Amino acid sequence: MIVAAGQFIVTSEWARNAERCVALMQEAAQHRASLLVLPEALLARADDDPDLSVKSAQTLEGGFLALLKAESRRNTMTTVLTLHVPSSAGRAVNTLVALREGEVIARYEKLHLYDAFSIQESRLVDAGQQVPPLIKVDGMSVGLMTCYDLRFPELALTLALQGADLLALPAAWVRGPLKEHHWATLVAARALDTTCYLVASGECGSRNIGLSRIVDPLGVTLAGASDQPQLIFAEVNREHLQQVRSKLPVLKNRRFAPPQLL
């Protein structure tokens, strides 16, 4: 099947950001993509207001997702992204949603909040408590993760042991010394840890690096974006996945179980 990762610069206006998502969905559908992964926290962002994503939080019945649901009804593609959903006064949950045929078919509340490199996501965002679900896309099992989750191999491994063939990762990877290196290394490492395909979409712009990647189960980059707005595609298939797992049976050879969720 064909998979896609789209990246763009998130603005301070949710309606403009929704229009950009819709445009990427239309383009991906025209290329017969079965799965499109968009970046993390797409409602709103501004360099001069680091709290805008939370301030702009909407419910899953809000105007932002309504526009994306309407576009989703026009095809059978699965679209994965995250947005902030209100939780309590002044707080929100970083929520991944998977859309198909106009409906939210799965959701996941981000487990690992980005409290690192002088940023404290937990100051205004509540962490999830549940391991994300698997969804089926054209016969392949897709595990769901969000941004900072990439640094925690236990989650990717848990999803693979539950049957994931592919991992979908919306992200907004913040710029900084060696951060591009961390991103490329970790994307390849999680694919190798799990012998899964990995579709990682990163927001681009002044704050975040972009560099969306589609990686195969041997950690080989099948398609990669620059730091500019872009939509990338690659073909994934179960035959190659099975060949890799036959030659490199790391999931079967494991001697330790992944740690349980605290």
Is 196 among the catalytic positions? no
Q: What is the DSSP letter of 195?
A: T
Closest to 91 measured CA to CA, from 129, 145, 50, 53 = 53
Query: What is the C-alpha to C-alpha distance for residues 28 and 240, in angstroms, rounded to an integer?
Result: 23
**Residue 35: both structure tokens together:** 């799965």
Query: What is the C-alpha to C-alpha distance for residues 75 and 186, in angstroms, rounded to an integer?
Result: 32
* Alpha-carbon distance values, 3 to 38, 130, 174 (Å): 11, 26, 24
Catalytic residue among 21, 40, 69, 121: 40
Fill in the amino acid letter for 114.
Y
Catalytic residue among 109, 110, 121, 196: 110
Is 180 among the catalytic positions? no
Angle at 106 between CA 101 and CA 110, to 5 degrees: 135
Query: What is the C-alpha to C-alpha distance for residues 240 and 120, in angstroms, rounded to an integer?
Result: 40
Catalytic residue among 147, 196, 203, 204: 147
Is 109 among the catalytic positions? no
Closest to 227 measured CA to CA, from 51, 7, 33 = 7
Active site residues: 40, 110, 147
